[in-house]
Structure 1
Amino acid sequence: MVARWVSGASPLLIAIIAGAVTANIVSLPQRIQPGLQFCAKRLLRVGVALLGLQVTFTEILGLGPATLAVVVAVVVLGIGLTMLLGRLLGVSWTQRLLIACGFSICGAAAVAAVDGVVEAKEEELITALALVVVFGTLLIAILPPAAQALGMNEHAGGVWAGAAIHEVAQVVAAGGAIGGTALTTAVVVKLARVALLAPVLAAVGWHLRRRSTPQEPGRSVPLVPLFVLGFLACAGLRTTGVIPDVVLDAAGFTQTTLLTAAMFALGTGVRLDTLARVGIRPLVLATASTACITSIALAGALLAA
């Protein structure tokens, strides 16, 4: 309901904030913890799989080689540079991976999906989610006037917004502020980034399997998690065009509901005392990552225009 009243407000981000506020003003009873864990793990994975129904490979390919190159560059270079900068700052591997994927791919959903593969520490997860909320919201206010100041046309502005901003709802808000053509372009570019979530998670799973040793076997990490296969299957099914609109609407509502429940559960782990213990380094990394991704997206948008 709040998302309808506030421009650019994503139900996922609202749920994170609501969970964090709740956890910091009241003491949540221990008996609800299993339910919160179920939402944060099981419901999350089903919701990510259904997210594939937002993506059609036909629309993505219709962007053309130049724009697709921008999307790939943002994801690959964004993750690579964030991981490198995080190592220089002394940020843990899992923490910088969560930030890198959240900022480079699709915000809170990417952070939570990557956590489903690597199982980061709780404080690392909640820090990445909090940073997604803060920096994604800031970009809504910054990008439209910046695009106008740079004299970008609507197509280029839409590519920039879709390639740089985290959440789909935030992209809609920024693209709409630039113009009607920008809105359409921005959403398709954003969904192209979402589609890259699957190969990135597969690469993370492969990396974890490769670096495991007989002395430190850890948990068994599937090369391609089941929910990633579900995501690809849903995207392929959507591309065929055989799914009726009424089914897509119902699936979209279900996906949003599941991810919102998962984000609320994750948000209950966002405690101020925990964030205070994390320190300044993740914030510095998030700032540098935002600058890198926004710059790469801007250069690509100008070249592809």
Structure 2
Amino acid sequence: MSVRGLLGRSVLPQAESMTATVDLLRSAALPWRRRPVRLPGLALVAAATAAAVGLHRWLPMVSPLLSAILLGIAVGNLAPPGPRYAPGFAVASRTLLRLGVALLGLQLVVGDVFGLGPGVIGLIVLTVVLSLAGSLWFGKFLGLSPAQRLLIACGTSICGAAAVAAADGVVDGEEEEAAAAIGVVVVFGTLLLGGIPLAVWLLGLSPQAGGLWAGISIHEVAQVVAAGGLIGSGALATAVVVKLGRVLMLAPVLVVLGVRQRRAHTGRTGARPPLVPLFVAGFAACVALGSSGVIPGPVLAGAAQVQTVLLAAAMFALGTGVRLATLRALGPRPILLGAAATVWISVLGLAGALLVG
């Protein structure tokens, strides 16, 4: 038998078998090799979040969400992270963001909100609806994009930066639009933090009316707590519960936005957006859990801290994708809308406080 015949009968089949085995192992390992490495991006997000939260503890008046997104914008423009950081940033700006919004529901106790009475509850609903409608109308008048005016309207009408981030998860606006909305909402909410307690003193309003005005007008939950403390101990409880009543409006507003997104997607290719986004269902579940009374107070306090950390991490990741040139291109119109929306909800809140309080 020739050498060629020997190789053809024995060696070559073994070689082909070994080659096939190697190819099979490579194909099995390929998904693991292609799986994005998230650690570098998440490590940078963790460091930036720690800096933002640390600054907030040193200067409580500085929102960790605002400082986180400003830090992200600075990093993204001065020393843009490479592609290896992108997978970690994607996890922070999506998954961590949605977890943070869902955990926000643990702060709500539905019984406390119902304890305000039908008059105050009706005032909360009416104020949120009128604030959204007025802000959206003025945003359209200014020529802002639908996503931009929705983000600012939700932030000023419901619960500040958390509402902006939650709405952005449904309407999917541009990163620059979300960053501008968060910055505008936090800045004007901070102005209300000092302005409303001063106005309560100048107008001689009662602590009850002052707390109602603060809770129904100021954008961020933390800002409402600070303003209620400045007005007086009698105003703090009212301000916080009224504010949480506004936060409770987040779920139905997001469901309405989700329905609109599904209708807008009709006739297009690709999967339709869900009727109720998963993180909105998580928010509702956390509201039910927080209202049940089964979670101890220290655990709720810890969850509130975790929620702040998660949202700050998401803000930093979002900020890294923002370019100043694009942000400048948005012009002063987002600021004008933020100012007008803040004045509008403040007027509505004052009218309601004088009527009900």
Q: TM-score range, shorter-chain basis?
A: over 0.9
What is the aligned counterpart of 1:233 among 263, 285, 294? 285
After TM superposition, the structure 1 stretch with the greater mean CA deviation from structure 2, 48-57 or 119-128, is 119-128
CA distance in structure 2 between the partners assigned to 1:292 and 1:218 by the alignment:
39
The reply to whether residue 141 of structure 1 matches residue 212 of structure 2 is no
The reply to whether residue 169 of structure 1 matches residue 212 of structure 2 is no
CA distance in structure 2 between the partners assigned to 1:162 and 1:225 by the alignment:
27
After TM superposition, the structure 1 stretch with the greater mean CA deviation from structure 2, 202-211 or 44-53, is 202-211
Q: Which amino acid aligns with 1:91?
A: L
Residue 344 of structure 2 is matched in structure 1 by 292
Q: Which amino acid aligns with 2:99?
A: V
SS at the partner of 2:219? coil
SS at the partner of 1:261? helix
CA 1:219–1:279: 2 relative to 1, 3 Å? farther
Residue 248 of structure 1 is matched in structure 2 by 300
The reply to whether residue 106 of structure 1 matches residue 153 of structure 2 is no
CA distance in structure 2 between the partners assigned to 1:19 and 1:173 by the alignment:
26
Residue 96 of structure 2 is matched in structure 1 by 43
CA distance in structure 2 between the partners assigned to 1:291 and 1:76 by the alignment:
15
Q: Which amino acid aligns with 1:205?
A: G
Q: CA deviation at 1:66?
A: 1.9
The reply to whether residue 122 of structure 1 matches residue 175 of structure 2 is yes
Residue 279 of structure 1 is matched in structure 2 by 331
Task: Give CA-to-partner distance per residue, 1:162-212, whole Å, 9 cap, x none.
Answer: 111111111111111111111111111111111110000001011122233
Q: CA deviation at 1:11?
A: 2.4
CA distance in structure 1 between the partners assigned to 2:125 and 2:216 by the alignment:
9
Q: CA deviation at 1:147?
A: 1.3
Task: Give CA-to-partner distance per residue, 1:205-241, whole Å, 9 cap, x none.
Answer: 1112223331x35651111111111111111111111
Residue 4 of structure 1 is matched in structure 2 by 57
**Aligned residue pairs: how many?**
304
CA 1:246–1:7: 2 relative to 1, 3 Å? closer
After TM superposition, the structure 1 stretch with the greater mean CA deviation from structure 2, 242-251 or 174-183, is 242-251
User: Contact conserved, 1:127 with 1:270, CA < 8 A, in 2?
Assistant: no
SS at the partner of 2:144? coil
What is the aligned counterpart of 2:319 among 267, 285, 303? 267
CA 1:7–1:95: 2 relative to 1, 3 Å? same
CA 1:47–1:303: 2 relative to 1, 3 Å? same
Residue 54 of structure 1 is matched in structure 2 by 107
Could you list the runs of 4 or more consecutive aligned residues of structure 1 that deviate by over 6 angstroms after TM superposition?
none
Task: Give CA-to-partner distance per residue, 1:252-277, whole Å, 9 cap, x none.
Answer: 23222211211221233344322211
Residue 86 of structure 2 is matched in structure 1 by 33
User: Contact conserved, 1:41 with 1:262, CA < 8 A, in 2?
Assistant: yes
CA distance in structure 2 between the partners assigned to 1:217 and 1:175 by the alignment:
50
Q: Which amino acid aligns with 2:353?
A: A
User: Contact conserved, 1:67 with 1:301, CA < 8 A, in 2?
Assistant: no
Q: Which amino acid aligns with 2:156?
A: F
What is the aligned counterpart of 2:238 among 168, 185, 204? 185
User: Contact conserved, 1:172 with 1:186, CA < 8 A, in 2?
Assistant: yes
What is the aligned counterpart of 2:272 among 197, 201, 220? 220
The reply to whether residue 201 of structure 1 matches residue 262 of structure 2 is no
User: Contact conserved, 1:57 with 1:239, CA < 8 A, in 2?
Assistant: yes
Q: Which amino acid aligns with 1:269?
A: G
CA 1:177–1:250: 2 relative to 1, 3 Å? closer
Uncovered stretches (5+) of structure 1, i.e. residues with no partner: none
> Larger Cα Rg: Structure 1 or Structure 2?
2
Between the two structures, name the one with larger relative contact order (CA 8 Å, sep ≥ 6). Answer: 1
CA distance in structure 1 between the partners assigned to 2:322 and 2:229 by the alignment:
31
Q: CA RMSD in A?
A: 1.6
Task: Give CA-to-partner distance per residue, 1:90-140, whole Å, 9 cap, x none.
Answer: 111111000100110111111111111111112211111121122112111
SS at the partner of 1:63? coil
User: Contact conserved, 2:200 with 2:210, CA < 8 A, in 1?
Assistant: yes
User: Contact conserved, 2:131 with 2:157, CA < 8 A, in 1?
Assistant: yes
Give the alignment's TM-score, normalised by structure 1: 0.94
CA distance in structure 1 between the partners assigned to 2:342 and 2:295 by the alignment:
37
Residue 132 of structure 1 is matched in structure 2 by 185
CA distance in structure 1 between the partners assigned to 2:325 and 2:252 by the alignment:
35
CA 1:252–1:91: 2 relative to 1, 3 Å? same
Q: Which amino acid aligns with 1:20?
A: I
Give the alignment's TM-score, normalised by structure 2: 0.81
Identity %: 54
